[in-house]
Amino acid sequence: MEKAREVNPKLQELDAAFFDICYEFGEERMTKQHYEALRNTYEAIRQKTLGGEAIIQSKPPIVWSGRFVDINEKTGKLDIYDEDIQVLNSKDGEIFAEVKSKQDGNSKLWKYTGHYAGGFRVFSYKNMNNDTGIGTIFLEKSQDVYIGQWTAITCDHKYVARCPYILFETKSSSFFDEKMLKAGCQILDVRTFTWREYQPGTSCI
């Protein structure tokens, strides 16, 4: 009886906290992956509070896959690249992530700060290798993927470009490659406030 008196307030507090988590998820202020990670922790703590052993399943980190078109710095042609997006935190409509990619033989590390609302996600990012690569990504959900464009400095800082980008919450796929390459990239002309089609073939070096 004494143990029950001690446990009940703890369970009520724990359940109240989990209710808040469910509410945040229901209001789309939290991604599904983050919700499932918190639910796993809640169930483990609740079991331990009731006197059992805490069974905290070791979950791999949340990793999304980005696939995008960019200008190859060596050939000037349009190529497809992949990047791994490790979500560090996702709550209240905000996403923070560390991103690793490899382009034209160079490994790159990026810091992503983003926001999500309904079926839209937007990120701003910075290259952590040189502190000069910056850009944005705007995406809209289409079935199981997020489709949009990135806009950034590219081609060894020669252009401000925008090119296709797709975010997969699972493994990357080449299914959209042909459409992305066909869409191509556009280059900003600051004199006329317009975007012109990038013509592949001019090396960035």
Contact 128, 109 (CB under 8 A): yes
Tell me the pLDDT tens digit for each residue of 31-65: 766 777 777 776 767 676 666 544 444 456 789 99
Query: How much is the mean pLDDT over the chain?
Result: 83
Q: What is the pLDDT of residue 56?
A: 43
Higher pLDDT, 48 or 97: 97
63-197 placed in CATH 2.40.70.10: no
Tell me the torsion sign for CA atoms 147, 137, 183, 84: negative
CA distance 92 to 115: 9
Query: Does pLDDT of 15 surpass 80?
Result: no
Question: What are the residue ranges spanned by the domains of the chain?
Answer: 2-49, 63-197
CA distance 165 to 106: 19
